[in-house]
Structure 1
Amino acid sequence: MVRWVRCRGAMLFVFGLVLGLTLGGAVAEGVEIWEIQGSGLESPLVGQVVDTGPNVVTALTDRGFFMQTPPERTDRDPATSDGLYVYLGHTPKVHTGDLVRVTGTVTEYHGMTELSSSPAVTVLDSGAALPPPVDLGPSLPSGDPPPEASLEPLEDMLVRVAAGTITGPTSGETTFWVVARDGRAFREPGIPYPGEAGLPVWDGNPEVLRVELGHRGAGEPENGAAAGLPITGLEGPLAYSWGAYEIWAAAGSYRISGTPAATPAPRPGRSELTVATQNVERLYDTVDDPSTKDDVPTVAELDTKLAKLSRWIREVLGAPVVVALQEVENLGVLENLADQIHADGGPRYVPELLEGNDISGIDVGFLVKETFAVDSLEQLGAGDRFEYDGTDYTVWDRPPLLLRGRFTGNGAPYSLSLLNVHLRSRNGIEGSNGGFVREKRHQQALSLAHMIEQLQTAEPTLRLVVLGDFNAFEFTDGWVDVLGQVTGRPDPLGALIPVTDVVDPPLDDRVLDVPAASRYSFVHEGSAEVLDHVLTSTALTPWVREIGFAHGNADSPEGLATSPGTPLRCSDHDGLVLVLAADANGNGIPDDREPRHARPVHRALPAR
């Protein structure tokens, strides 16, 4: 029974210590938390002043605290929550285990029910046992969207992940992502739920939970949590903030097994060579360019960045013959990187870069070993334009860069062409400017498809590698099927903007040859995804031997980006390395298929 009393601007006194003031107006007395929460997504008492207690303080934040109904007073209704957040706006004076009575206004703050408006908090007792946490696992939360269906009844209650997996590394200082199971979460095809009629829908991976640390938890590595590692004993209240559920983990409530580590890319065998792609994440020099919106690192920051990239390219990528790079400001800083690699005992690389159109000043470029003779370097599509909503726009901020040359490190020259690309990101694709973002991404994919078709038509036997940061998945995202358009192999699930048939013969996306568990180059809010690709022409198929990612950047916490003692997190992208057979005698037969060669042929990857 809810009782109403008039308390106009007076202090609410209950046995114990009063820590706040109530608002003037009618107060609903004796309201249980599960009555405040209700069985829907919002409280049925929004806007009302309520008095509730005694409840147990379960966790503290810097601006308030969580409390929960003692087990003996729960309504045992699986549709309602026994937990509630109290927003004070200042550091709370209560302690975990205190029994409190609170009077405040029921509000919904970005989807989370709480008491606010300077609530009055009365401490009735201390040292109370905390309610037992609800165990999360493979079936809770449900893998079906929306996540609110299974988690809203647990909002602000204590939950526990007894054994799970970190599926997204620490971002900033206090946030990482987990799943309550063995194995990480991956991006899947489609538009995030609820999607659009007639188009593929992605469930959004509702099993992924954000973890927020009010303070650093015991057992966490110094620079944060790394994705892919097991986590045990994670416990805290389940909050809802900015469209996602998050566990406010208590200090010492969990353990992480292992530390961040690099997984090197495949290495070439005898009579083989490697080419690679690596987004280096905003590699800028220390000079402010007034014509662009560039970053300007300090000398020390740039030195650390160059040292980390040098180690990554040498030790993790394996010093490929050619490395296609994205997000490089200019030729000068690329020369700095080449010099750093050589000074660190690595090979001598020749930098190649042409300036593009990007307002932030980033371009695509190459590092080329001296065993690869460059015949030509050509920027494609720099002047391409498209019209959207009556306005003319540039297709390419970072025009593709075509490098033609010959590998001379194993006998007869081996001709190879590499097209380095960096497409527009997906940022804003579902927002108010989504129509423009989708159209620009489609125009870039279509322009790139025409480039490829022209190259193949002019030279049907061209050994072509198209590689770089496509900012696109290996399947359709439901809006634009970028890889389907570029390769000539559209995803049967389709997209809002359909693929135009251009590329014939089609290219192979070699990412699809990577085992599924290792198929990612980026991690976004707990979901591993492929953004970087290596595509090969039909003429190159007999020469392809292996493909693999160099992991260690995307999984590592952001805090390692400034750590000079490790190559990890030199970028937010992982690298991708392609192994090719060579042709020492120039007879057009891969060396490992010569009768005299001992290397097994089974490494050859098939065309699709």
Structure 2
Amino acid sequence: MAIFNKRWRLLAAGLPLALVTAMAGFTGTANALSTDVVISAVYGGGGNFGATIKNDFIELANLTSNPVSVDGWSVQYASAAGAVFQMTNLSGSIPANGRYLVQQSAGASGTLNLPTPDATGSIPMSATSGVVALVTAQIPLVGCGISCATAPNVKDLIGYGATANVETLAAPGLTNSTANARSGAMVDTDNNSVDFTSGVPSATNTAGVTVRADDGPTDPTPGSVRIHDIQGSGRISPIVGQSVTNVPGIVTAVRTTGNSRGYWFQDPTVDADPLTSEGLFVFLGQTSPTVVPGDSVLATGRVTEFRPAAGAQTLTELGGPISTIKVSGGNALPAPVTVTLPDAFTKSGALEAQPLEPSSYVLDWLEVNEGMRATINQSTRLISPVNTEFDELWVTFKPTQNPTPRGGVVYKSYDDQNSGRFFIQSLIGAPPANVGSTLAAGTTGVIDYQSFGGYVLQATELAAITEGGLKKQKVLPPKKAGDLSVATYNVENLDPDDPDAKFARLAQDLVFNLGSPDIVALEEIQDNNGATNNGEVAANETLAEFIAAIQAAGGPTYDWRSIDPNDGTDGGEPGGNIRQAFLFNPARTTFVDRPGGDADTAVSVLRARPTSNQVSLSVSPGRINPSNTAWASSRKPLVGEFLFDGNKQLFLVANHLNSKGGDHPLTAAVQPPNRVSEVQRLQQAAQVRDFVKDLSEKSAGRARVVVLGDLNDYQFSPVIQSLTESGTVLKTLIDTLPVDQRYSYIFDGNSQVLDHILVSPAIKGYSYGVVHINAEFSDQASDHDPQVMRILTGCDVSPLPTRCLPGSPVVDVP
């Protein structure tokens, strides 16, 4: 499963990436850097809901020690997408090192008047995105398109928010409660994104009188609506979409990073309904909260239901323009509820239409306590490693529920979601720790909901973690020299831009932990410049660097085969052009090269003669039916023909099927969750299965075939059942392991299977295992564990010798 797009965050604010990228191409600069008069502030939210100041305004600053006349000048405004500028004429002068205030349109709200303006217009400026130009003439700007910064008479210009009409890059987008002000020493660099920052609106006129939005009068009287009225007794607020004023509560936690900044607050006075939460998140976008835990506040805003991803449940929150009145500080926080998870994970059907049953279902208990302080009053076991990049960990409240021998929780079927799993994200950081470690009692925070992981405890206090002593596995020495070892390893977007340490670590994995397999199918090999999106598709440098690292680690001198994809057609990280590749040890096996394979040519199965059972590939390496729509924006299987143990043929099909991106989360609003991505994988599975069947039929069942790689689906899934034709075409080797050992990846706290090795019936004797070196550890070279099988020599006889019978171990258990 590709790491790219795996991680979703609450992106409720900020510009779309595509727009930011497009804007980066506009690099026009003004005629000259302004060293005397500049635009010092712009504000378009005046008089809007949640605004304190009644009017929009534009402020100018004189950077010199002498007065500057603005007679005959103008300020002009256009919308973000508009080409028509509205103009306000200026007159008079700006004092030495002083300011000049231009008042614009008023709204219906607000409590503060601006200082006496030096010029007055009636332009209704946008509260989010727009363009303001300071012009040394009173002629409307016409025809400059998105390059008005370089138009005649333009002394200074600011484009803010989602506009391309800028000096180099846009200043921050605004809200009803934020203005852009020139930063620091007021130096003009002709880069709006550098010169301006957003913050509390503040306006100063030529007389030096300043009004700040936070200087206004406040009304400390609580409104009539309480948090439990907003949350209601269901999943959706009964007053969603309505504006509420002066909702009281005590701040319990704050989030000051990312695009979902804000604070949680809770009403210490509990109502009589056990189904209504007393906690709520106040969403501030990219603006950091100024309140701290213990502040008593009155919050004003609009009740929203934020759905962070397709199919996810919603988070009830206070959004829109936010006004917060601090009444007092240092108050005691409301007592936390104790996290208590019922036996069942959830009911079926549309959850938002059903009553909450918190004593029966985990998802209902979490919803009832959404936004509230909660604490874990028992020690728990880590069932995923701590993700130190995002300070995340999963624990289990039910230690005997489907445990793995190494401390995790195995995912056995769609009907068993492992209801004891619990997700924690620490707001104060988290130390590295591995699966099987112990989290002591005492972790406390607030219950939140996000797309990745669903319900989560945003921890303000993280209890001590005691490492469990988990060790990494390695393969056992081969018992016979003629055995052929084959491995699959997803190396997670490997490219030459990765640090040398990653190459060295992966090389160590192959040499020490995997025992230098004779053939390795690699997934997620990127092109020679990684995510740089410039048309490069070759990966020879990536593979050469990896092979050199393996040699340095004491491994063999591998050779490699792969096929470069067409640019941008195989999914994964944009610009990376991931693909599969074969590494093979030429001292142990021979790759049969058959020319003609490329990104667009389909490999086919050939008979030596019409009546012969001897088969070969039309091209080697080759790709399975790459033009078929099943492979749209996805990796195409790589097929290769090998010889081993004399002249025994072996056909390998290396895969990286369509990822699970787009599937609804386990905590989805409709249960069971919709597996959207499965449709394409079923099509892909059919393509691979039909190719293997062709090999089998034309060889009269004699073709030794290994299908392996990141199939992005579970051993019990319809995809794997279709690919193997329920075990008749291919055998799923993960199913030969005990149930509690069937995993190669951990997601949402579930130890699960995404990677596979499947074999055709012609392979009689083998040993197999998953080598656990990554998924359970905070220190990972990849997020996947590799798998190894050995094709055992001397197993082409009947009855099978004892060593050829399934179940022979290949992995030690430290």
TM-score (norm 2): 0.56
The Cα of 1:250 is off from its aligned counterpart by 1.3
Correspondent of 1:366 among 556, 559, 582: 582
Matches within 5 A, 1:405-424: 405-407=643-645, 416-424=650-658
Q: CA-to-partner distance for each residue in 1:401-440, whole Å, 9 max, x for gaps?
A: 12321136xxxx7654433223232334679xx9996554
Aligned amino acid, residue 49 of structure 1: V
Correspondent of 1:75 among 271, 281, 284: 271
CA RMSD after TM alignment: 3.9
Aligned-partner SS, 2:683: helix
User: Is the alpha carbon distance of 1:107 and 1:348 closer, same or farther for their aligned partners in structure 2, counting shifts above 3 Å?
Assistant: same
Separation in 2 of the partners of 1:254 and 1:40? 35
The Cα of 1:356 is off from its aligned counterpart by 4.2
User: Is the alpha carbon distance of 1:256 and 1:600 closer, same or farther for their aligned partners in structure 2, counting shifts above 3 Å?
Assistant: same
- Which residue matches 2:375? 160
Correspondent of 1:180 among 378, 385, 397: 397
Aligned-partner SS, 2:444: strand
Matches within 5 A, 1:331-370: 331-357=540-566, 358-359=569-570, 360-370=576-586
Aligned amino acid, residue 548 of structure 2: D
Separation in 1 of the partners of 2:372 and 2:796? 70
Aligned amino acid, residue 315 of structure 1: F
Contact 2:710 2:754 in 1 (8 A): yes
Correspondent of 2:251 among 42, 57, 75: 57
User: Is the alpha carbon distance of 1:277 and 1:426 closer, same or farther for their aligned partners in structure 2, counting shifts above 3 Å?
Assistant: same
Q: Is 1:132 the equivalent of 2:336?
A: yes
Q: Which runs of 5+ in 2 are unaligned?
A: 1-51, 53-108, 113-212, 307-313, 352-361, 528-538, 571-575, 594-619, 666-673, 810-814
Aligned-partner SS, 1:366: strand
Aligned amino acid, residue 654 of structure 2: N
Q: Is 1:264 the equivalent of 2:498?
A: no
Contact 1:364 1:420 in 2 (8 A): yes
Matches within 5 A, 1:186-201: 186-187=410-411, 189=413
Q: CA-to-partner distance for each residue in 1:516-569, whole Å, 9 max, x for gaps?
A: 33322223343333121111122213x12x321112323344xx4xxxxxxxx2
User: Is the alpha carbon distance of 1:179 and 1:123 closer, same or farther for their aligned partners in structure 2, counting shifts above 3 Å?
Assistant: farther
Q: Is 1:36 the equivalent of 2:257?
A: no
Q: CA-to-partner distance for each residue in 1:102-133, whole Å, 9 max, x for gaps?
A: 14235225133334533333344525254033
Correspondent of 1:112 among 292, 296, 315: 315
Correspondent of 1:404 among 631, 634, 642: 642
Larger Rg: 2
Give the aligned length: 510
Aligned amino acid, residue 337 of structure 1: F
User: Is the alpha carbon distance of 1:514 and 1:324 closer, same or farther for their aligned partners in structure 2, counting shifts above 3 Å?
Assistant: same
The Cα of 1:256 is off from its aligned counterpart by 5.0
Matches within 5 A, 1:415-454: 416-428=650-662, 440-454=680-694
Separation in 2 of the partners of 1:419 and 1:518? 25
The Cα of 1:277 is off from its aligned counterpart by 0.9
- Which residue matches 1:579? 790
The Cα of 1:246 is off from its aligned counterpart by 1.5
Contact 1:141 1:151 in 2 (8 A): no
- Which residue matches 2:601? none
Q: Is 1:317 the equivalent of 2:514?
A: yes
Contact 1:211 1:246 in 2 (8 A): yes
Separation in 1 of the partners of 2:628 and 2:705? 27
Contact 2:434 2:467 in 1 (8 A): no
Contact 1:42 1:108 in 2 (8 A): no
Aligned-partner SS, 1:451: helix
Aligned-partner SS, 2:592: strand
Matches within 5 A, 1:489-568: 489=726, 505-541=728-764, 543-544=765-766, 546-557=767-778, 560=779
Aligned-partner SS, 2:721: helix
User: Is the alpha carbon distance of 1:589 and 1:304 closer, same or farther for their aligned partners in structure 2, counting shifts above 3 Å?
Assistant: farther
The Cα of 1:383 is off from its aligned counterpart by 4.5
- Which residue matches 2:450? 241
Correspondent of 2:426 among 199, 202, 213: 213
Q: CA-to-partner distance for each residue in 1:477-527, whole Å, 9 max, x for gaps?
A: xxxx3222221217xxxxxxxxxxxxxx52210011123333222233433
| Identity within the alignment, % | 26
Contact 1:582 1:591 in 2 (8 A): no
Aligned amino acid, residue 367 of structure 2: E
Higher relative contact order, chain-length normalized (CA < 8 Å, sep 6+): 1
Q: CA-to-partner distance for each residue in 1:116-153, whole Å, 9 max, x for gaps?
A: 5333333445252540332234x278454656422211
Contact 1:68 1:131 in 2 (8 A): no
Aligned amino acid, residue 238 of structure 1: I
Separation in 2 of the partners of 1:265 and 1:158? 46
The Cα of 1:448 is off from its aligned counterpart by 1.3
Contact 1:68 1:82 in 2 (8 A): yes
Separation in 2 of the partners of 1:394 and 1:97? 53
Q: CA-to-partner distance for each residue in 1:359-399, whole Å, 9 max, x for gaps?
A: 543332222224423151423445554369xxxx7697423
Aligned-partner SS, 1:279: strand
The Cα of 1:155 is off from its aligned counterpart by 0.9
Contact 2:397 2:420 in 1 (8 A): yes
Would you tell me which structure has more strand in proportion to its own residues? 1
Separation in 1 of the partners of 2:703 and 2:324? 76
Contact 2:237 2:316 in 1 (8 A): yes
Aligned-partner SS, 1:334: helix
Contact 1:423 1:441 in 2 (8 A): yes
The Cα of 1:228 is off from its aligned counterpart by 4.8
User: Is the alpha carbon distance of 1:355 and 1:269 closer, same or farther for their aligned partners in structure 2, counting shifts above 3 Å?
Assistant: same
Separation in 1 of the partners of 2:369 and 2:634? 47
Separation in 2 of the partners of 1:76 and 1:229? 40
User: Is the alpha carbon distance of 1:154 and 1:436 closer, same or farther for their aligned partners in structure 2, counting shifts above 3 Å?
Assistant: closer
Separation in 2 of the partners of 1:395 and 1:216? 37
Q: Which runs of 5+ in 1 are unaligned?
A: 1-6, 12-17, 191-201, 286-296, 491-504, 561-568, 594-598
Separation in 1 of the partners of 2:344 and 2:679? 36
Aligned amino acid, residue 452 of structure 1: V
Aligned amino acid, residue 77 of structure 1: D
Aligned-partner SS, 1:539: coil
Aligned-partner SS, 2:507: helix
Separation in 1 of the partners of 2:419 and 2:742? 20
Separation in 2 of the partners of 1:163 and 1:248? 18
Separation in 1 of the partners of 2:489 and 2:380? 30
Aligned-partner SS, 2:501: helix
Contact 1:83 1:157 in 2 (8 A): yes
Q: CA-to-partner distance for each residue in 1:52-72, whole Å, 9 max, x for gaps?
A: 44x4432232243323333xx
The Cα of 1:587 is off from its aligned counterpart by 7.6
Separation in 2 of the partners of 1:30 and 1:440? 52
